[in-house]
Homo-oligomer: A and B are copies of this chain.
Amino acid sequence: MAAECDIIRLKAGASTPTDVFGARANTLAELIAAGFHTTDAWAISVDRIRAIARSDFPKSWPFADRLNRGELFSLRSSPVVRAWGGPETLLNIGMTGVVRDRLAQTLGLEAANSLYCRFVQDYSVQVMRLDEEEFEEVLAGVKDDTPDRAKALAACLDYYEYEMDEPFPQDPIEQLQNAARSMASAWMGTSARILREAKGADNDAGLGLIAQQMVLGVGRGESGAGVGQFISPRNGAIMAHGRYLSQGQGLDALDAGNDASFLGADERGPSLETLAPEAFEQFHAATELARQVFRDDMRLEFTVHDSQIFVLDAVPAERSARAAVAVMVRLVEDGIKSKREALLGIDPRSLNEILHPQIDPKATRDVLASGIGASPGAATGRIVFTASAAQASKARNEPCILVRVETAPDDIRGMHSAEGVLTERGGITSHAAVVARGLGLPCVVGASSLDIDGRAKSLNVIKTGVILKEGDVITLDGKTGEIILGAPKLVQPNLSGSFDTFMSWTKDYRKLGVRANADTPSDARLARAFGVDGVGLCRTEHMFFEENRLNVMRELIFAETAAGRESALNLLLPMQREDFIELFSIMQGQPVCIRLLDPPLHEFLPRSRDEIRHLAEEMNLSVSKVTSRIEELSEFNPMLGTRGVRLGITVPEIYDMQARAIFEAAAEVQKKTGKVLEPEIMVPLVSANREVEIVRARIETVVSNVEDATGMKLKFALGVIVETPRAALRARDIAKSVTFLSFGTNDLTQMTYGLSRDDAGRFMRQYVAEGVFPEDPFHTLDIEGVGELMLMAASRGREERPDLTLGLCGEHGGDPVSIAFCYAAGFDYVSCSPFRTPIARLAAAQAQILDSKATA
């Protein structure tokens, strides 16, 4: 049984807690308290609405006398959380024949009849659940030749009576009570419940209602209704944005399309500013006031009556990520928000939109098919089917999109040359997706509705039968996963101005380092431009896929003698050294963490028959010899094979060469700058400390050789990339040999789940859709499983070595939830692809701000 105080008049000083009366009632109360011009309103509490759903109505409504006097009311939902939505607003409650007659005296009979007619219709459909379409048919069948719309009104009233077996209710309280009960019941209904549970609502989520005296929006002088804000939702510029419908009610303006007016003066059509400059001025002033009251730019819902504005509701202004950043910066500059609050005001993930070109939202999209959006941004180019075609295309300065069934490491050269990547297979963390994110290339993977035939050089859209050939132009939307025919207009990102200002604030609230994964000097330059704290992962193998190096690598693999291996390594050494000299120079003394060679050797070998023949020619070997070596090196499960430190131990010359290149480069840069460098060397795929000891011993030999040769004192830090569950379990052992651990969460997730990134695409979508996994664990760190191993490793490692440095260098390094986890776990840094570092920096700052809030 709800108490009488369950319905209160909204006025300055009235207490309207959100959990009692809902969020919208609370907003309206703030508007009233702040002196906004509006009409009288009452809030009906969540408890009362629950009672009303059981037809337990209040003994008396505090505004009953007004209704009975002929005043009209609106009834609007006020859910406890706005995002949960709620039943549709019902306007004009209290409308009866008597009221119509009275209104006719001021508005004229036609307007009064129209209002009454509309109310009968709304009430019938929203409250009595009559069929809307049938109602429309009835009205369409009326030949209304009267100027006062009397016939139409009569048809409405007749149809109501026909359907309901009773005349349209002439008691305003009956109308109110039925409307309230209907809204309460709709809220409790199954479909509304499912919808809001998807948004995180509890089973017993509460709904309040607001009953507010109507401002008609029709009638004398300039009257109408509108919705608007005073910033551009696209870029945050200060300008009126919204819609207004003269002689309209409620949200009519939004439904009116081109019949609605602009708010500010606009050459494209009429506007509130031209129709009623004083009302527009009031609207502008109201947005200014709302910005002060709600400490954010707001979108207002308002009614105009005789050029006088009434504000009915306020919600945060619509904004793109770019606009949001501009808004936050201005709020700080205007002293309205603190920097901390501004930093919390942006969802880090939304920055993705800013960091890449986008398809112009106004452009039309001729969508061919959809896959998984795996790397954000849009890219347009001609289709190519091979890495070499991509390189050729780039040489001709012709943008291209690399289209493959799936990509392999030797496609990297092609990916470097392409504007975007499209694959038929693979998931969010397939090779194509990971590399594309690293390169900042838009990428769509797992487009299983395409049949890509590299040999026939055709891309077949299975459903429609459309066949595209090499050279046809397509556009990828790496966010939605859409593959679009042709070249819709793209919008370029702008990272200066407010974005730059905003990002500069993160550093004051962030102790968690954010490094970039950078495999090449050009990656490193990009990382510097993004303002990172160092390189967290330099995957040296990518250096070997470049141009003429791949051939030398292959010579190494085919060498049958130690001398042959040595001669290949002697060719690779100066190249590696140059890489590192450039890398160290670019990073100007910031930490650089280099991972020793990781992939199995067969990844460097060709797979197509043409490439094998070509290699045989170059090596002066028979095709069968080349083929048999390839077969010899092939593995059932390359991810779990002879790679990483296993290769480093079984063919130790490779790590020796890499260590030598690192130290010779460090010596050279030290000589130039006069500053001591301490390269971080990271050992991959470790599962036992003995592996690290063996590598450490060899590296120590190399470093002392280079010290002898150069006469310089050299330093280095040794670490392990924790990728196997066993390395996590044995972290205490391993910490005896290293000073840092960096979690390679891609591989660690693979092994903890027993799930290959490259093969997960086949079922992951179904798994996530059916809730088997709450999220793709390659996308959002699996805190419960992988996370537990990380915490275990962190605490075991630090038991052995309290100053052990801890980092994360998987894809998760750019994921806000994972970053918050790393912050909480006391990690030193995360590392992700350069394009994701702004997201990581913001997420790291947010984690720290929220933490200081929690502890304050």
Chain A residues engaging chain B, CB cutoff 8 angstroms: 635-642, 646, 649-650, 685, 687-688, 690-691, 694, 723-726, 729-730, 747, 750-756, 758-759, 762-763, 766-767, 770-773, 782, 784-786, 788-789
Report yes or no: B641 in contact with A640, Cβ–Cβ below 8 A. Answer: no
Interface contacts beyond A637-B637, A725-B754, A729-B789: sample of 4 additional A-B pairs, CB < 8 Å, sorted by A: A637-B759, A638-B759, A640-B640, A724-B752
Smallest CB gap from A723: residue in B: B754
With contacts A639-B640, A752-B751 known, is A646 near B763, CB below 8 A? Answer: yes
Partner of A772, one of B690, B766, B788: B690
- Which residues of B sit under 8 angstroms from A758, Cβ to Cβ? 635-637
**Chain B nearest Cβ from A450, distance in angstroms:** 13
Task: Select the residue from A638, A687, A723 with max chain B CB neighbours within 10 A.
Answer: A687
- Which residues of B sit under 8 angstroms from A730, Cβ to Cβ? 784-785
- Which residues of B sit under 8 angstroms from A637, Cβ to Cβ? 637-640, 756, 758-759
Q: How far is the CA of A51 from the CA of B638 in the complex (A)?
A: 58
- Which residues of B sit under 8 angstroms from A747, Cβ to Cβ? 754
* SS class, residues of chain A in contact with chain B: helix
Report yes or no: A691 in contact with B755, Cβ–Cβ below 8 A. Answer: no
Partner of A687, one of B636, B755, B763: B755
- Which residues of B sit under 8 angstroms from A690, Cβ to Cβ? 771-773
- Which residues of B sit under 8 angstroms from A640, Cβ to Cβ? 637, 639-640, 750, 754-756, 759
Report yes or no: B641 in contact with A638, Cβ–Cβ below 8 A. Answer: no
Report yes or no: A642 in contact with B759, Cβ–Cβ below 8 A. Answer: yes
- Which residues of B sit under 8 angstroms from A685, Cβ to Cβ? 754
**Chain B nearest Cβ from A732, distance in angstroms:** 11
Q: How far is the CA of A521 from the CA of B357 in the complex (A)?
A: 63
Smallest CB gap from A640: residue in B: B756
5 tightest Cβ-Cβ pairs between the two chains A and B: A640-B756, A641-B759, A637-B756, A724-B754, A726-B785
**Chain B nearest Cβ from A76, distance in angstroms:** 39
- Which residues of B sit under 8 angstroms from A782, Cβ to Cβ? 726
**Chain B nearest Cβ from A179, distance in angstroms:** 42
- Which residues of B sit under 8 angstroms from A752, Cβ to Cβ? 687, 724-726, 729, 751
**Chain B nearest Cβ from A534, distance in angstroms:** 27
Q: How far is the CA of A784 from the CA of B726 in the complex (A)?
A: 9
- Which residues of B sit under 8 angstroms from A687, Cβ to Cβ? 752-755, 785
- Which residues of B sit under 8 angstroms from A785, Cβ to Cβ? 687, 725-726, 729-730
**Chain B nearest Cβ from A610, distance in angstroms:** 18
- Which residues of B sit under 8 angstroms from A770, Cβ to Cβ? 649, 694
With contacts A650-B763, A759-B640 known, is A788 near B729, CB below 8 A? Answer: yes
Report yes or no: B729 in contact with A767, Cβ–Cβ below 8 A. Answer: no
**Chain B nearest Cβ from A746, distance in angstroms:** 12
With contacts A687-B753, A726-B752, A752-B724 known, is A635 near B772, CB below 8 A? Answer: no
Report yes or no: A772 in contact with B688, Cβ–Cβ below 8 A. Answer: yes
Smallest CB gap from A636: residue in B: B758
Q: How far is the CA of A637 from the CA of B427 in the complex (A)?
A: 14
**Chain B nearest Cβ from A712, distance in angstroms:** 32
- Which residues of B sit under 8 angstroms from A750, Cβ to Cβ? 640, 754
Q: How far is the CA of A817 from the CA of B767 in the complex (A)?
A: 39
- Which residues of B sit under 8 angstroms from A639, Cβ to Cβ? 636-637, 640, 754, 756
Q: How far is the CA of A773 from the CA of B691 in the complex (A)?
A: 8
Report yes or no: A762 in contact with B641, Cβ–Cβ below 8 A. Answer: yes
**Chain B nearest Cβ from A492, distance in angstroms:** 36
**Chain B nearest Cβ from A342, distance in angstroms:** 38
Partner of A773, one of B638, B688, B767: B688
Q: How far is the CA of A694 from the CA of B784 in the complex (A)?
A: 20
- Which residues of B sit under 8 angstroms from A789, Cβ to Cβ? 725, 729
Smallest CB gap from A408: residue in B: B636
With contacts A729-B789, A754-B687, A773-B688 known, is A767 near B649, CB below 8 A? Answer: yes
Smallest CB gap from A733: residue in B: B784
**Chain B nearest Cβ from A249, distance in angstroms:** 48
Q: How far is the CA of A255 from the CA of B166 in the complex (A)?
A: 123
**Chain B nearest Cβ from A257, distance in angstroms:** 44
Smallest CB gap from A773: residue in B: B688
Task: Select the residue from A637, A750, A766 with max chain B CB neighbours within 10 A.
Answer: A637
Q: How far is the CA of A151 from the CA of B763 in the complex (A)?
A: 92
Report yes or no: B729 in contact with A772, Cβ–Cβ below 8 A. Answer: no
**27 A-B pairs (CB sep. < 8 Å):** A636-B639, A636-B756, A636-B758, A637-B637, A637-B756, A637-B759, A639-B756, A640-B750, A640-B754, A640-B756, A641-B755, A646-B767, A649-B770, A650-B763, A650-B766, A687-B753, A687-B754, A687-B755, A688-B772, A691-B772, A694-B772, A723-B754, A724-B754, A726-B754, A729-B752, A750-B754, A751-B751
Smallest CB gap from A628: residue in B: B451
Q: How far is the CA of A788 from the CA of B729 in the complex (A)?
A: 8
Q: How far is the CA of A350 from the CA of B411 in the complex (A)?
A: 53
Q: How far is the CA of A641 from the CA of B760 in the complex (A)?
A: 6
**Chain B nearest Cβ from A722, distance in angstroms:** 11
**Chain B nearest Cβ from A272, distance in angstroms:** 53
With contacts A649-B772, A690-B772 known, is A638 near B638, CB below 8 A? Answer: no
Q: How far is the CA of A756 from the CA of B639 in the complex (A)?
A: 8
Smallest CB gap from A725: residue in B: B725
- Which residues of B sit under 8 angstroms from A788, Cβ to Cβ? 729
**Chain B nearest Cβ from A48, distance in angstroms:** 39
